[in-house]
Chains A and B, each alone.
Chain A
Amino acid sequence: MKVLLAGASASLHPLCASFMSKGWDVVVVHNDRTECELLSRNSRALVVCGDPSSPEVLDDAGIRNTDAVLAATQRDSTNLSICQISASEFGVRNTLSIINKPGNEKVFEKLGIRFFSANAAIASLIEQMADLEEITGIGALADGRIQLTELRIQPDWPCVGIPLQSLRMPGGSLVAAILRSDEAIIPSGATFLLPGDRAIVLATAVSYGPALEKLSGLDTDRA
C-alpha cells in the first residue's frame, strides 16, 4: 500500500506515523520548506517539497503508482484540485479529502470525491483505511505517538488461550485491559484472551502494526 499525503497542518506528523506503523509506503508533498525539513528529520516518509496541487509535482512524487491520495491542506479548493487531478490525470481510484469549512462538503459530494471533516475524522480515517472491522481505534495519545485500540478477539486468532507472558507482545505495546461480558479486567502475565473479549491495546506508533499482527495473525499491510 502506497499513500500520498498532500499538505497538512500539524496534524500531519501523527497521521504520517500511523500510516507508517502499518508498514505502508508514505510520500508527503508539502509546499512549506520548514515543514518538509521537520518531517524528513522526524519520519521515514519520503518528503517532496512543492505545490501538491501541481500535476508536475505530483508526478515527480510518484503519484502514478500510488494507491491512495489524502488531500489535507487547509484550503478546501486546493484539496478539491488535488483529488480531481489525482483521479483524472493519474488514475488514482482512492482519493480522500479533508474538509475544513462546513458547507463545502456539498461540492465534493456532487463531484463524487470522498471526504472527511477535519480533526475528528483523522483518527477514524486511519481505521477505515485499514479495513479491519474487528479493530476500533479509540484514539491517540501524546500527539499520536501512542495509539489506543480496541480489538474484538476472534476465535481463530493465534493469541486465544495463551497467557500474555508467553505471548511476548512486541516491545512498546501492551494489552492494557480486557472487557469480558460485564467484567473489566486489568490483566497480569497469567491472564489469557478468550474469543469475544474486547482487548484494549496500548502501543507506540511504531509498535502498533506489529502488536495487531501478533494478536490477530492478520497482515496489517494487506490493505
Chain B
Amino acid sequence: MYVVVAGCGNLGRRLAESLSRDGNEVVVLDSRHEALELLSPEFGGFRMEGDAGDVAALEQAKLGSADLAIAATDDDNVNLFFAQSARFLFEVPRALVRVHDPAREAVFRRLGVETVCPTTVAADLMACLVSKDPAEEAKA
C-alpha cells in the first residue's frame, strides 16, 4: 500500500514506522523539520516538509496515488482539511482521522469521515479497567 501520513508527532511517527516496517510505501508530511528528524533511522519511507493544510503540499506528496491517507497532526481542522482533500479532491479510497476534541468526533463522523479519538478510546478503556475488580480478575 502507498500511505500518506500527515503529522509526525508521537502518533504519526509511530504509525509511519510500523506501516513502513510492515512493507508499505510511506510518506510522512510535517511542516516541522525537527519533527521529521525524530523518525527512527530504520524508517524506510519518505520524509516531506510541508503543510497538510495546503493542497500544493498534498500534490507534492502524490496524495492522488495513495491507497490510504492518515491525518495525525495536532490540529483537528488541518486533519479534517487533509481528509476531505484526500477523499474528494484526490479520490483516495480510505482516509483515517485522529480527532483531539471528543466533541468534534461526532461532527466529523456525520461528515462521513472515519475517525479515531485517542481521548475517547483511552477513557473507555480506563473505565472498562476500573469496572473490573483486579482481585476478581486474579481469581478468574
Residues on B lying within 8 angstroms of A by beta carbon are 52-56, 59, 75-78, 80-82, 84-85, 88-89, 101, 103-104, 107, 110-111
- The reply to whether B81 and A76 form a contact with Cβ atoms under 8 Å apart is yes
- The reply to whether A107 and B88 form a contact with Cβ atoms under 8 Å apart is yes
A110 cross-chain contacts in B, Cβ below 8 A: 84, 88-89
Size class of the A contact interface (CB-based, 8 Å): 20 to 34
Q: Number of contacts between A and B (CB, 8 Å)?
A: 64
B80 cross-chain contacts in A, Cβ below 8 A: 77, 80-81, 84
Distance A138 CA – B54 CA, assembled complex (angstroms): 32
Q: Give per-residue flags for A36-73: 1 if the beta carbon is below 8 A from chain B beta carbons, else 0.
A: 00000000000000000111100000000000000000
3 interchain residue pairs of minimum CB distance = A77-B81, A77-B53, A110-B88
- The reply to whether A55 and B110 form a contact with Cβ atoms under 8 Å apart is no
Partner of B103, one of A54, A84, A88: A54
- The reply to whether B111 and A84 form a contact with Cβ atoms under 8 Å apart is yes
Residues on A lying within 8 angstroms of B by beta carbon are 53-56, 75-78, 80-81, 84-85, 88-89, 101, 103-104, 106-107, 110-111
- The reply to whether A78 and B55 form a contact with Cβ atoms under 8 Å apart is no
- The reply to whether A88 and B110 form a contact with Cβ atoms under 8 Å apart is yes
- Beyond A55-B104, A106-B55, whether A77 also contacts B78 by CB under 8 A is yes
Partner of B84, one of A55, A78, A80, A89: A80
Determine the residue in chain B with the shortest Cβ distance to A78. Answer: B77
A107 cross-chain contacts in B, Cβ below 8 A: 55, 81, 84-85, 88-89
Distance A55 CA – B53 CA, assembled complex (angstroms): 20
A55 cross-chain contacts in B, Cβ below 8 A: 103-104, 107
5 contacts between A and B (CB under 8 A): A53-B77, A55-B107, A75-B53, A107-B84, A107-B85
